[in-house]
């Protein structure tokens, strides 16, 4: 005879846990974004949380929520950068950058839209590798967590991560950068 399954957590507890997880991820994304100063963590968090709530994603299991949250934070952040760039309409553009503590160095911080476009291109060529980057970079998940979320071995995730970092570094290299 099987033991009874524990009751799922009440919605308010799960929602609170989802909110806390999203808050931590929003801080990570903006910390990597460099000294932009215009988009505050609370604004990013609330916009992403509202989108996730409307779509019913706050009721997902924690790992699935982290996967969806990573994509949502990326979308909200890129939308913000696009709106900001469109509002400027010329003039002196200040760069909005992302720094990846796992591979991209502070002396080479790609613009958010360049990174977004490069990830889109990578997704067309190698969708799984692009998902790994999204979950590691925007979601802040470990190799083990990504492996669990995507139902892969840790070795496969590590290999995808290594390949994708090299591919993105090459794709985002500015003209005149040393090879």
User: 48: alpha, beta or left, given left = phi > 0 and alpha = psi -120 to 50?
Assistant: alpha
Residues paired with residue 111 on neighbouring β-strands, in sequence order:
97
pLDDT tens for residues 35-46? 555 677 778 878
Q: How confident is the model at residue 5 (pLDDT cuts 50, 70, 90)?
A: low
The pair of structure tokens assigned to 40 is 């505050």
Q: How confident is the model at residue 14 (pLDDT cuts 50, 70, 90)?
A: low
Q: Is 51 exposed, middle or buried (0-12, 13-18, 19+ CB in 10 A)?
A: middle
Provide the pLDDT for residue 36.
Answer: 55
Helix (H, G, I), strand (E, B) or coil at 92: coil
Cα–chain center distance at 93: 24
The pair of structure tokens assigned to 37 is 């100063």
pLDDT at 10 over 80: no
pTM surpassing 0.75?
A: no
State phi, psi for 39 to the nearest 5 degrees: -90, 120
pLDDT tens for residues 109-132? 456 778 888 899 999 999 999 999
pLDDT tens for residues 40-94? 777 887 888 888 888 777 677 777 777 888 888 888 888 887 777 766 655 444 4
> Could you tell me which residues come within 8 angstroms of residue 140 by beta carbon, excluding any fewer than 6 positions away?
24, 25, 28, 29, 70
Supply the Cα-derived Rg of the chain in whole angstroms: 18
Residues paired with residue 161 on neighbouring β-strands, in sequence order:
none
State the virtual CA torsion across 105, 84, 51, 99 in degrees, nearest 10.
0
Provide the pLDDT for residue 107.
Answer: 45
Q: How confident is the model at residue 16 (pLDDT cuts 50, 70, 90)?
A: confident
Q: Where are the alpha helices (DSSP H) in the chain?
A: 11-32, 41-54, 62-88, 112-125, 127-133, 143-150, 154-171
The pair of structure tokens assigned to 163 is 């390949």
């Amino acid at each position: 005879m099987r033991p009874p399954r524990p009751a799922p957590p009440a919605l308010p507890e799960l929602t609170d846990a989802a909110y806390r997880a999203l808050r931590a991820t929003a801080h990570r994304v903006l910390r990597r974004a460099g000294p932009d100063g215009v988009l505050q963590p609370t604004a990013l968090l609330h916009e992403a949380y509202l989108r996730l709530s409307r779509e019913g994603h706050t009721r997902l299991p924690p790992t699935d929520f982290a996967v969806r949250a990573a994509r949502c934070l990326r979308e909200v952040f890129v939308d913000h950068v696009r709106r900001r760039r469109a509002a400027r309409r010329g003039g002196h553009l200040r760069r909005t950058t992302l720094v990846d503590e796992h591979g991209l160095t502070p002396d080479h911080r790609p613009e958010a839209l360049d990174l977004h476009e490069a990830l889109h291109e990578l997704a067309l060529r190698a969708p799984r590798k692009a998902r790994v980057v999204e979950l590691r970079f925007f979601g802040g998940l470990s190799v083990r967590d990504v492996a669990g979320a995507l139902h892969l071995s840790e070795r496969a995730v590590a290999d995808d991560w290594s390949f994708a970092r090299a591919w993105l570094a090459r794709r985002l290299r500015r003209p005149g950068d040393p090879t």
